[in-house]
Amino acid sequence: MSAEIQEVRDFLAAHHPFDLLPQAVLGNVARSVQIIYARRGTVLMKPGDTVDTLYVVRTGAAETRDPDGHLLARPCEGECFGVRALLRGGVAVNRIEVIEDSLLYTLSADLFQQLRQDHSSFSYFFAAFDGGRIGDAMKVNAKDVDFLSKQVSELLTRAPVTSPPDIHIRQAAQRMRDQRVSCLLITDEQGGLAGILTDRDLRGRVVAEGLDYATPITRVMTPNPRCVQAETLVFDAMLLMSRHNIHHLPVLKDGAVAGCLTTSTVVDSQSASPLYMAKKVHGATEVAQLKAVISQVPLLVEGLASQGASTHGIGHVVSALTDAVAVRLLNLAEARFGPPPVPYAWLAAGSQARQEQTAVSDQDNCVILHDSYDPVAHGPYFKQMMQFVSDGLNECGYVYCPGEMMATTDKWRQPLAVWHDYFRRWIEEPDPKALMLSSIFFDLRLIHGDAGLFEDLHQTVLEKCRKNRIFQAYMATNALTHRPPLGFFRNLVLISGGDHDHTMDLKHNGIVPIVDLARVYALAGGVKAVNTFERLEAAREAKVLSTDGADDLRDALEFISMIRLRHQAARIRGGMHADNYVSPDELSSFDRSHLKAAFGVVKTLQAALASAYQLGRF
């Protein structure tokens, strides 16, 4: 092997993903490499050009821009370009220009495709450039065990056993025996759910009461029972069953009965540790019991992460447990202080509202009171009630909000009319403080109380925002204050000095920028969803975000969140407090490369948002 070929081989071996190839294969690749010199200003490809070469930067740098001129990337030493064109039929989709005098290695398209075909790890690296994007890359090490994201319909293993309401008890019992089921779903003439009869009903309402078996079942069935839709998450369905102590939950699809979910069905299909925790929360009679349950959340998160659960699913579970604690404390408060004198709605804000908690965090909540609220007559009741709940949350580990964004603060415990006025002023007079408050209170979700109060406010606010392009532009400006830690030449920009030296803050510089982008898209489209994943999907459907943009941001959010969650789980295993500061030294070359790709997606979409709202004017 000549010295020149050996130098090429050694260079490739030091850079991902060529470091994944066997040494013998690397030698053959080095022999096939062509070396070219490109002067600054050379355009190597533009949209529509035929591309039959993969470029690897040996020295120098290039610049990739989309057809609209937006900067996408600046590949530098050791990085590849031309990949997307090769993966899409050999036709360039972007413009690539050399911005420094550069030495480039080139590989033929045939060799590139052969390497992808023969070496799966090499191929996986380029998933981030293909139609599958970062989402495909995440599947490399993921296990197909994400029970948390399953829909109820996936657990229904048989057709529903139903009956019209005009049969008597003996006929119902015989049908249940013959079909070997523990419940009978009673349907009306249109196939809708009219009631449910369970074996417990037969024991308690028929046998124990000595009722004649010829009695119509309408006398003993439960009419209009609680039910869920087929697309409801299994975890949410089980929380409902646990909260109301029911063992059979009818499932509807398009208004018709689709089946019945039972506790035994879920237990048979998956370990129920988070469900066990939820049941303990619902049955707690004092704060100490709630604290004991929530103290297990870090171990729960670590366990779910190790099983391969998605961060979307984990966030849903952890937030649901937080919801359950808040509801239980509100129930205990009402038992202690008596029923509320006027209707109220307890709302969560922040990551709890978005169902994106992955750890116990500080409180963000508020309360809407009915407009019949009298501060003199009713104020003391709600003040002591909210203090009881907030103190309980704090004792469980949900510490008081440093900014006092809590229902214990008088300003955030107000009648509906006052809340309408708050949002009107924030939207019509978007000063810096209003924008800060909007970023908090535009992520709200009802946890407990009068749903009508929240819906009244929510619908009005969404309509005002959708029609106010100027306010959207201010929110877009605010959304660009957090930037991903990606430098001019796609290098990772790290914190220098202090307690977090040589790390990246994946929360504020990775996840928050995507959350902020999704919020702006949601406001522009009048989208009701609060969860970031759901907002991106709804924004695509509302056509305020492109399909590619929505897919890319969802994949980027899941990947960045997964890296953060793995880091937190490792710290928990090591007996340390979970944080958001990740050093690139703890990541594999694979993860570093795809983390750069994810940050690149965010930068591109931030640039597109700035362009859409002409933010240079604000």
Question: Has residue 105 got a pLDDT over 70?
Answer: yes
Reported confidence tier of residue 568, pLDDT bands at 50, 70, 90: confident
pLDDT at 165: 94
Distance separating alpha carbons of residues 292 and 312, to the nearest angstrom: 25
- Alpha-helical runs (H) found in 181-272: 199-201, 234-244, 263-269
Domain 156-262 has what CATH class? alpha beta
CATH code 2.60.120.10 region(s) in the chain: 3-130
pLDDT at 273: 65
CATH architecture of structural domain 3-130: Sandwich (2.60)
**% of the chain beyond a pLDDT of 70:** 93
CA angle 602, 603, 608 (to 5 degrees): 95
CATH of domain 273-461: 3.30.460.10
Residue 430 CA, chain-centre distance (Å), reads: 28
Tokens of 347: 């709302």
How many helical (H) and strand (E) elements, i.e. helices and strands, does the chain have?
Answer: 24, 21
**What mean pLDDT is predicted for residues 262-274?**
60
185 in helix, strand or coil?
strand
Which tens digits make up the pLDDT trace of 500-515?
999 999 999 999 999 9
Which tens digits make up the pLDDT trace of 197-215?
999 899 999 999 999 999 9
Q: Phi and psi for 257 in degrees, rounded to 5?
A: -70, 125
Spell out the residues 6+ positions from residue 183 whose beta carbon is closer than 8 angstroms to its own: 161, 176, 196, 197, 198, 199, 248, 260, 262
Distance separating alpha carbons of residues 132 and 139, to the nearest angstrom: 10
Question: Has residue 130 got a pLDDT over 70?
Answer: no
Distance separating alpha carbons of residues 375 and 123, to the nearest angstrom: 66
Which tens digits make up the pLDDT trace of 370-394?
999 999 999 999 999 999 999 999 9
Q: How buried is residue 170: exposed, middle or buried, by Cβ count under 10 Å (0-12/13-18/19+)?
A: middle
Distance separating alpha carbons of residues 327 and 283, to the nearest angstrom: 12
Residue of 387, 393, 389, 455 lying closest to 420 (CA atoms)? 455
Please name the helix (run of DSSP H) or strand (run of DSSP E) that holds residue 571, with its range, or none.
helix 547-573
80 in helix, strand or coil?
strand
Reported confidence tier of residue 618, pLDDT bands at 50, 70, 90: very low
Distance separating alpha carbons of residues 212 and 168, to the nearest angstrom: 9
pLDDT at 107: 96
CATH code 3.10.580.10 region(s) in the chain: 156-262
Residue of 503, 501, 492, 541 lying closest to 521 (CA atoms)? 541
CATH code 3.30.460.10 region(s) in the chain: 273-461
Q: Which fold has domain 475-617?
A: Four Helix Bundle (Hemerythrin (Met), subunit A) (1.20.120)
pTM of the model as a whole: 0.67
Q: Looking at this protein, which amino acid is placed at residue 274?
A: P
CATH code 1.20.120 region(s) in the chain: 475-617
Q: Which long-range contacts (CB under 8 A, 24 or more apart) does 612-617 make?
A: 612/476, 613/472, 613/473, 613/476, 613/477, 614/473, 615/473, 615/476, 615/477, 615/480
Q: Looking at this protein, which amino acid is placed at residue 9?
A: R
* Mean pLDDT for the chain overall: 88
Distance separating alpha carbons of residues 455 and 462, to the nearest angstrom: 10
